[in-house]
Amino acid sequence: MSDTISPKERLARKLGGKTSDRPPVICPGGMMNAAIVDVMNATGHTLPDAHHSKELMTELAEDVSRMTGFENFGIPFCMTVEAEVLGSEINYGTLECEPKIQKEKFATAADVVFPEMKAFDDNKRIQAIADTIHALSKKHPDTPVIGSLTGPISTAGSIIDPMTFLKQLRKDKENSHKVIDYVTDCLIHYAGLMAESGVDVISIADPTATGEILGPKMFDEYAVFYLNKLVDAIHKMGKPAIVHICGKMEAVKLSVAQLRSDALSVDAFVSLRDIKNLFPHINTMGNLSTIMLEFEDAEKVKKGTRVLLKNNIDIIAPACGLSTSTPIANINAFTETVKSPQ
């Protein structure tokens, strides 16, 4: 069966709540980075070098899309760029291991120094990401380029010691709001650079902003408020936005429904079918278990994928960050099952 519409149009239709021939199968990058070891070893375009060079980043993004079958490009390959610009110390990791925050820049919210937005324009990695988006969107007009952001709460928790930060959300609301509001403005600026470079979709993952960590009151006060501020600004740029919420959702189900993103991506143990039934206006995205993708065989993966298809999930994707040691055969079984379900 040959596809009648391009991957880019299919994803745009789904994000716009329109009908389509079938759901797209994507992996947005950032927290959900699909640059797995199997791909890099086959092509020699490897991390951590590709975090810094636009040529390598472009080649690796192309390798990933071609070899995994995911119907998009997803960059960057980590969630440390924002914190790097704001001063935290980054460990760029290895081929197998994603970059991480080595040390947060500030001890408390009151200590945070707010640099000029220009710091984002001047950062070498941001420039490489913007150039890569530009190159990919010019070279592949039919494939959507997704730019991934680390959400406001997670970015704030990557520049302030996270244990202190979580307490200050209660104890020092004034400075907490000040920092998160500023961080959100930074993310809007960064999203603007992506939009100018020709990005098709912005995807936001905010793994610190879960109902399990924050509880419903603070999830509303901080996560929903600032994610919506960010999403509204992205909409003003004329781009759709995906939001991924980690963890169990029971405590914050009603709050999550207040998010104004164009699709909601969730963890493996959240029932997207329930979300669809409760909130028909939400475009659902997800949520094949990454544990299944890493440790089970291709037959199990196909079965799991068919369940998502049967439940009419709007956009099919992994449920969370993929392990870099996920076998390519499992990912192929995943993407091929979406493309030709029999």
Partner 1 sequence: MAVSKEELYQKMSDAIVDMDEDLVAELSNEAVAQGLDAFEAIDKGLTPGMERAGQLFEEEEYFVPELLMCADAMNVGIDILKPHIKSDDTKVKRKAIIGVIEGDTHDIGKNLVKLMLETGGFDVIDVGRDIPAAEFVEKAKSEGAELICISTLMTTTMDAMADVITILEEQGIRDKFKVVVGGGPISQGFATKIGADGYSRNAAEAVRLAHKLFEE
> CA-CA distances (angstroms) from residue 322 to 117, 127, 216, 308?
31, 25, 27, 18
Of 139, 122, 43, the C-alpha closest to 86 is 122
User: Is residue 98 close enough to count as binding partner 1 by CB under 8 A?
Assistant: yes
Query: Which of 1, 116, 118, 163 touches partner 1 (CB under 8 A)?
Result: 163
Three-state secondary structure call for residue 173: helix
**# residues contacting partner 1 (CB under 8 A):** 32
User: Is residue 329 close enough to count as binding partner 1 by CB under 8 A?
Assistant: no
User: Is residue 171 close enough to count as binding partner 1 by CB under 8 A?
Assistant: yes
Angle at 136 between CA 131 and CA 140, to 5 degrees: 160
CB of 202 to partner 1, least distance (A): 23
Question: What x/- string results for residues 208 through 247 when contact with partner 1 is judged by CB under 8 A?
Answer: ----xxxx--x---------------------------xx
DSSP calls for 253-311: HHHHTT---SEEEE-TTS-HHHHHHH-TTSPEEEEE-HHHHHHS-HHHHHHHHHHHHHT
Cβ-based burial of 277 (10 A; exposed 0-12, middle 13-18, buried ≥19): exposed
User: Is residue 290 close enough to count as binding partner 1 by CB under 8 A?
Assistant: yes
> CA-CA distances (angstroms) from residue 15 to 83, 142, 239, 271, 315?
29, 16, 10, 20, 8
User: Is residue 79 close enough to count as binding partner 1 by CB under 8 A?
Assistant: no
Q: Which is nearer to partner 1, 9 or 296 (CB)?
A: 296
CA dihedral (136, 24, 285, 206) in degrees, to 10, reads -10
Q: Please, which of residues 9-38 interact with partner 1 by CB under 8 A?
A: none
Q: Which two tokens stand for residue 131?
A: 């150039």
Query: Which of 112, 242, 322, 331 touches partner 1 (CB under 8 A)?
Result: 322
Question: What x/- string results for residues 245 through 264 when contact with partner 1 is judged by CB under 8 A?
Answer: -xx---x-------------
CB of 131 to partner 1, least distance (A): 27
User: Is residue 167 close enough to count as binding partner 1 by CB under 8 A?
Assistant: yes
Binding site for partner 1 (CB under 8 A): 91, 93, 96-98, 100-102, 162-163, 166-167, 169-171, 212-215, 218, 246-247, 251, 290-291, 294, 320-325
